[in-house]
Amino acid sequence: MRSILEKREWEKRVVLQMIWLYCRKQHNTRGELCKECIELSGYARERSDNCPFMNSKSFCSNCRVHCYQPMMREKIKNVMRFSGPRMIFYHPLTAIHHLIESKKENRNV
């Protein structure tokens, strides 16, 4: 069983990887995030840091729709929709790990 701290760090890393991928492909950036995505990644990190459900969930995508403000929610949804399926190609280890964690969570519900 991983600690809550590890969960948080893991979650922040996955979200950041997804935003990077999204920004590179959708906003044509190279080696840096655009202004919009910097803002989004900062927001996502803050949400993870303040998430009160870290204990009972495995990943924020399952509940982030509830705690994101509407504009950021739309943005992160686009990021996940785009990067989610592509993670297996760009970050295979992250994707597989995430898949396993999500499955675990679904079984618990």
CB closer to Zn ion out of 15 and 51:
15
> How many CA atoms within 13 Å lie on the side-chain side of 81?
7
Binding mask 48-67 toward Zn ion (x if CB under 5 A, else -) reads --------------------
CB closer to Zn ion out of 20 and 68:
20
Place of tokens 């919009």: 36
Q: How far is the CB of 19 from Zn ion (least distance, A)?
A: 8
CB closer to Zn ion out of 58 and 83:
83
Q: Tell me the number of residues near Zn ion by CB under 5 A.
A: 4
Place of tokens 């996955």: 14
On whether the CB atoms of residues 5 and 37 are closer than 8 A, the answer is no
Q: Which amino acid is at 22?
A: Y
Binding mask 5-44 toward Zn ion (x if CB under 5 A, else -) reads ------------------x---x------x--x-------
Cβ neighbours of residue 57 closer than 8 Å, sequence gap 6 or more: 63, 105
CB closer to Zn ion out of 27 and 81:
27
Please choose, from the candidates 22, 9, 17, the residue with its C-alpha nearest in 3D space to the C-alpha of residue 75: 22
Residue 72 binds Zn ion (CB under 5 A): no
C-alpha 15/C-alpha 35 separation (Å) is 17
Q: Which parts of this chain interact with Zn ion (CB under 5 A)?
A: 23, 27, 34, 37
